[in-house]
Amino acid sequence: AQKITQTQPGMFVQEKEAVTLDCTYDTSDPSYGLFWYKQPSSGEMIFLIYQGSYDQQNATEGRYSLNFQKARKSANLVISASQLGDSAMYFCAMRHNAGNNRKLIWGLGTSLAVNP
Amino acid sequence: NAGVTQTPKFRILKIGQSMTLQCTQDMNHNYMYWYRQDPGMGLKLIYYSVGAGITDKGEVPNGYNVSRSTTEDFPLRLELAAPSQTSVYFCASSQSGGMSEKLFFGSGTQLSVL
């Protein structure tokens, strides 16, 4: 069964340091997409980055990069030079091609606190 | 741009009451979704729509109804509210259902059923 696992309920990082948020996934479908969303205290979910299963390069978007290790089925989010505004919940999600590909499967999230 | 707008932001219902959560988007997106987020949990899909007049069930549709009469609006109806429907509800939209298509979310509705 398709599943997303985020094993870190909470993380702390010092401002200006880098932090890695873990995400592992399980799917038997060779075609899938992986997403990271940020949910600040205001509540709105904000798209950060996307990685396709066939993408040869790791995705990057500004200070966000995705460490995609296909064989290990992991898609870790790396935030470089952390800022106070990065304090939020972070969700990993997967969309797969089998069946209803409009359904995103979500992890439970990781709470990140950036300390000044 | 307003993006995806949800109303109300907060609501308290008594058991058995009904209400409609409103959602509208101004991006001319074809796809719209309703999710619920329970404490400490990921999002669960309630209903979705691929265009005006077309809706389909998600993972947790029981106790809810939707309609999509226009591209912009996708209201969620709760009939006979139950405590199990206490949750935060998010409306989202996307241009298509493609693999890489990102979702745009509203700011959520916090609903308590007492």
pLDDT at B39: 84
Supply A72's token pair.
Answer: 């290990």
Give the range with max mean pLDDT: A26-30, A41-45, A102-106, B74-78.
B74-78
Chain A residues with CB inside 8 Å of B40's CB? 108
Q: Which residues contact B52 (CB under 8 A, 6 or more apart)?
A: B68, B69, B70, B71
Which residues of chain A does B97 touch, with a Cβ-Cβ cutoff of 8 Å? 101-102
Q: Report the gap between the CA of B38 and the closest CA in chain A (Å).
A: 10
Residues 6+ apart with CB under 8 A from B6: B21, B22, B23, B89, B90, B91, B106, B107, B108, B109
pLDDT band at residue A98 under the 50/70/90 scheme:
low
- B14/A107 Cα distance (integer angstroms): 31
Residue B92: count of CB within 10 angstroms of its CB: 25
Mutate to test the interface with A, among B105, B109, B110 (most CBs of A within 10 A): B105
Chain B neighbours among A 16-75 (CB < 8 Å)?
31-33, 35, 42-47, 50, 52
What pLDDT, on the 0 to 100 scale, is given for residue A99?
57
User: CA-CA distance, B42 to A22, in Å (whole number)?
Assistant: 15
Contacts of B51 in chain A (CB under 8 A): none
Torsion (CA) B61, B67, B72, B76 in degrees, nearest 10: -50
> Which pLDDT score, from 0 to 100, does residue B1 have?
67
Burial of B97 (0-12, 13-18, 19+ CB in 10 A): middle
- Compute the C-alpha angle B31/A24/B103, nearest 5°: 15
Question: DSSP 3-state assignment of A84?
Answer: helix
pLDDT band at B2 (very low <50, low <70, confident <90, very high): confident
Alpha carbon A116 to chain centroid distance?
A: 23
Write out pLDDT tens, residues B12-71: 999 999 999 999 999 999 999 999 999 888 899 999 999 999 999 999 999 999 999 999
DSSP string over A37-50: EEE-TT---EEEEE
B57 is written with which tokens? Answer: 């069930």
Q: What is the pLDDT of residue B40?
A: 80
Mutate to test the interface with B, among A35, A45, A90, A101 (most CBs of B within 10 A): A45
Tell whether the model's pLDDT for residue A1 goes beyond 80: no
Q: Is the bond preceding A9 in cis, omega lying within 30 degrees of 0?
A: no
What CA–CA distance (Å, rounded) separates A45 from A51? 18
pLDDT in tens, A4-62: 999 999 999 999 999 999 999 999 888 899 999 999 998 899 999 999 999 999 999 99
Please tell me the distance in Å from A79's CA to the nearest CA on chain B.
Answer: 19
> Residue A70 burial by CB count (10 A; 0-12/13-18/19+): exposed, middle or buried?
exposed
Q: What phi and psi, each to the nearest 5 degrees, are found at residue A92?
A: -100, 140
Q: How far is B33 from chain A (nearest CA, A)?
A: 9
pLDDT in tens, B95-111: 988 888 999 999 999 99
Predicted confidence at residue B97, as pLDDT, reads 81
Cα A45-A32-A92 angle, rounded to 5 deg: 30
